[in-house]
Amino acid sequence: MSAQNQGWSKVEAVKSESRFLRGRIAEELGQDTSSFDENTALVLKHHGIYQQDNRDLRGRKDISEEGRAWIMMVRVKIPGGRLTCQQWLGLSRFAELWGNHTLRITTRQDIQFHGVLKKNLAALIRGIQDIGLTTLGGCGDVVRNVISCPAPIDDGGIRDQLYEDACRISRHFLPRGGAYEEVWRGEVKSQVELGPAEQVEPIYGTNYLPRKFKIAFALPDDNCTDIYADDLGFLGIVENGNLVGYQVLVGGGLGVTPADKSTFPALAQPVAFIRREELIPMAEAVIKLYRDHGNRSDRKRARIKYVLADWGMEKFRAELARYYGQELVPPPPVVAHRVDTHLGWHRQADERWFYGLYVESGRVADTATARMKTALEQICERLQPSIRLTATWRLLICDVEAKNRSLVESILRDHGVPLSEEISPLRHFSGACVALPTCGLAITESERALPGILDQLEAELARVGLTGMPICVHMTGCPNGCGRPYNAEVGIVGRAKDRYAIYLGGSVVGHRLGFLYQNLVPRDQVATVLGQVLEVYARLRSDGESFGDFCARLGAEGLRAAIQTG
């Protein structure tokens, strides 16, 4: 592979000239500036760091001459979302020292720090490394955090095996060029030691992948990781209580560029069955196929879903078999059919308990009304639980002795943190991407707007007699789809300042894409528009029919007709 290839995007040249992800990071870190050069920022993504600016302050000349207040987002990559108590306490402290005093749980079981100044970046990354965690590959054109259900449910050890496999995959696909250790710890590898690409990065080569690559593990009766939204998925096949292997799914990805009609959201599709021991060879085959055939000229069409769409399933499977070195076993006809939020108290296999805590859009903070961050620190200091992150923005407080359950609850209450049981099912299933003020791509509000919209939706549900109805609402501040709006029951997607596209008809399980119901709806009318649909849902739904199933059955035209006939 070579960046000299005709027509490749500029990012390809930056990667191939970066000496395996070193670029000018170390040099620029030593300079007394508040931001990195544009090309260095591209390399930095592979170290889990996004250069951003505070959008609330953009344009203010009293901040800087260019009117930008530069800040970094730092993403800690946590395979399967499992943390020790000490790691949680460490992260919580770092947010005070070097972040914006909050921790953001993401739908990839990462923890994000926001608002990190360039001068504090090295201290933060070293701190993260010192507690046994990494940001390497948190962002960038590599395998991102590998996700897997974190709940310590009494399931005969099935989820632990999925977790082991997720960690194996995660380790195997970490960048190997040594840039991370060199830049942040000063452990310098000489150019001689670096050697040719086949030795330094035998999987990725000099150009890494065409774009990001996401891998998820799930079980048919618990798709809390939303396996259908990932580039590569492993759906556990359990027979007689044993994990016999995986259904392999390929080609999920929700990002779209509305102006480019050749882009679209897609759900992952089953391509094969593998036994557990074939996991790494299969993952390597898929990733190498993507490395060689993904689009490196147009980053909007660089995901593996477009390789699959352009080739069709038959050719894709034939090519994959070539990379795999043997025939593919057809996938078993299994579909994920349930999602568990894991909220509230549940018994673990070892008789202890875990508590699924509702965290609004994953933001752990101390606010005027609820001091969740401090409450969690106290729970960690007094009970030493392990902490796990879900892929639905929530957090599990694990390994709690039965006798300490009331202490957990009282610490939360004393800090004004509502218990999950006091939160409506609508909120349990809902969440928003970060968007303003940190995300550079945000067109409009998301995380800061969702709570108000949910308040209004709760009122609409009460009005039509559906209080307590679980409906999954995902919101984003632009069409990129980070909050997974396109397969949710309700997707609210920012399209212009304070205007949103409303998608309907997806599902809680995430196995169906929604359709565009109405575009450019002003923010203050989103709940009203949805209220009209809820009204016909209350009237016309069949027994036990979910909101997503109902909308999918009627379609956009059917819903409009039903609303008109009142």
Integer Cα distance of 527 and 506 in angstroms = 18
Task: Report, in Å, the least distance between residue 235 CB and ligand HEM.
Answer: 17
Selecting among 214, 301, 371, 373, the annotated active-site residue is 214
Which does residue 478 touch among ligand SF4, ligand HEM, none (CB within 5 to 8 A, set by kind)? ligand SF4
108 binds ligand HEM (CB under 6 A): yes
Q: Is residue 224 among the annotated active site residues?
A: no
Which does residue 477 touch among ligand HEM, ligand SF4, none (CB within 5 to 8 A, set by kind)? ligand SF4
Q: Are strands 386-389 and 395-400 parallel, antiparallel or unpaired?
A: antiparallel
Q: Is residue 261 among the annotated active site residues?
A: no
434 binds ligand HEM (CB under 6 A): yes
Query: Which DSSP letter does residue 331 get?
Result: P
Task: Report, in Å, the least distance between residue 75 CB and ligand HEM.
Answer: 8
Stretch that binds ligand HEM, among 22-30, 101-109, 375-383, 528-536 (CB under 6 A): 101-109
CB 547 within 8 A of CB 479: no
H helix or E strand, kind and range, residue 199: helix 197-200
Task: Report, in Å, the least distance between residue 497 CB and ligand SF4.
Answer: 13
Stretch that binds ligand HEM, among 126-134, 350-358, 364-372, 479-487 (CB under 6 A): 479-487
Helix (H, G, I), strand (E, B) or coil at 270: strand
For the chain, how far is it from start to end, CA to CA, in angstroms?
A: 61
For ligand HEM, which is the closer residue by CB, 360 or 535? 360
Our CA dihedral for 434, 436, 438, 441, rounded to 10 degrees, sits at: 90
Task: Report, in Å, the least distance between residue 141 CB and ligand SF4.
Answer: 16
Question: Pattern 269-288, binding to ligand HEM, x per CB under 6 A?
Answer: --------------------
116 binds ligand HEM (CB under 6 A): no
Name the residue among 399, 426, 269, 411 with its Cα closest to residue 345.
Answer: 399
Integer Cα distance of 98 and 479 in angstroms = 30
Which does residue 16 touch among ligand SF4, ligand HEM, none (CB within 5 to 8 A, set by kind)? none
Name the residue among 142, 318, 166 with its Cα closest to residue 233.
Answer: 166
439 binds ligand HEM (CB under 6 A): yes
Q: Is residue 439 among the annotated active site residues?
A: yes
Q: Is residue 482 among the annotated active site residues?
A: yes
Q: How wide is the angle at C-alpha 546 spanned by C-alphas 521 and 394, nearest 5°?
A: 75
- The label of the residue with tokens 């000489």 reads 190
For ligand HEM, which is the closer residue by CB, 331 or 477? 477
Residue 56 burial by CB count (10 A; 0-12/13-18/19+): exposed, middle or buried? exposed
Task: List the structure tokens of 73.
Answer: 């987002």
Which does residue 507 touch among ligand HEM, ligand SF4, none (CB within 5 to 8 A, set by kind)? none
Integer Cα distance of 211 and 33 in angstroms = 29
Which does residue 446 touch among ligand SF4, ligand HEM, none (CB within 5 to 8 A, set by kind)? ligand SF4
Integer Cα distance of 51 and 440 in angstroms = 9
Helix (H, G, I), strand (E, B) or coil at 29: helix
Selecting among 398, 433, 472, 551, the annotated active-site residue is 433
Integer Cα distance of 57 and 21 in angstroms = 31
Selecting among 224, 439, 472, 551, the annotated active-site residue is 439
Q: List 356's β-bridge partners, or say none.
A: 344, 396
Task: Report, in Å, the least distance between residue 433 CB and ligand SF4.
Answer: 3
Integer Cα distance of 287 and 303 in angstroms = 11
Which does residue 170 touch among ligand SF4, ligand HEM, none (CB within 5 to 8 A, set by kind)? none
Q: Is residue 433 among the annotated active site residues?
A: yes
466 binds ligand HEM (CB under 6 A): no
42 binds ligand HEM (CB under 6 A): no
Which does residue 254 touch among ligand HEM, ligand SF4, none (CB within 5 to 8 A, set by kind)? ligand HEM
Q: How far is CA 70 from the centre of its chain?
A: 24
Q: Is residue 189 among the annotated active site residues?
A: no
Q: What is the CA radius of gyration of the chain?
A: 23
438 binds ligand HEM (CB under 6 A): yes
- Catalytically active residues are 75, 144, 212, 214, 433, 439, 478, 482
What is the binding site for ligand HEM (CB under 6 A)? 50, 52, 73, 106-108, 112, 114, 229, 254-255, 362, 433-434, 438-441, 480-484
